[in-house]
Amino acid sequence: MNLYHCMIELTSGTKALAFAAAAEIWYGGLQKRGLISSWRLMRRKLGLGAEGQADFLLEIEVADMAMLENAFRAVGQSDDELARHYDQMHAMIATSSVGLYREFPDPERRERIALI
């Protein structure tokens, strides 16, 4: 399992619930189409967080890099309605930073360690 991790700050004046609803339409649609395994949106609680941590955390799970590549490819070839949903959600984001994580130790390393 790979985890695509996004830290997000919204544009000034954007309502958090409007962003959550737009994310549900966009990422829920990707999940229903089988392009991602799962996703979740979290918000910093009570404003607590170290410097540099964004207000929102979005996590998208994909089975492997091939699934992530297929999702990017499908989104790039999306229809007008799908593109409209993306544009609506993306317009609410002021800044974001992303990372790609994997389980550790991953299955390949576990097998290698077991052989030693």
Q: What CATH number does the domain located at 2-115 have?
A: 3.30.70.100
CB 61 within 8 A of CB 36: yes
> CA 14, CA 43: separation in Å to the nearest integer?
14
C-alpha to C-alpha distances, 8 to 52, 110, 116, nearest whole angstrom: 11, 33, 42
Dump the DSSP string for 56-77. EEEEEEESSHHHHHHHHHHHHT
> CA 111, CA 56: separation in Å to the nearest integer?
36
pLDDT score for 28: 95
- What number of residues does the chain have? 116
pLDDT score for 5: 95
Choose between 74 and 35: higher pLDDT. Answer: 35
Q: Is the pLDDT of residue 112 over 70?
A: no
Going from N- to C-terminal start, the domains of the chain cover: 2-115
CB 59 within 8 A of CB 37: no
Helix (H) or strand (E) holding 108: helix 107-115
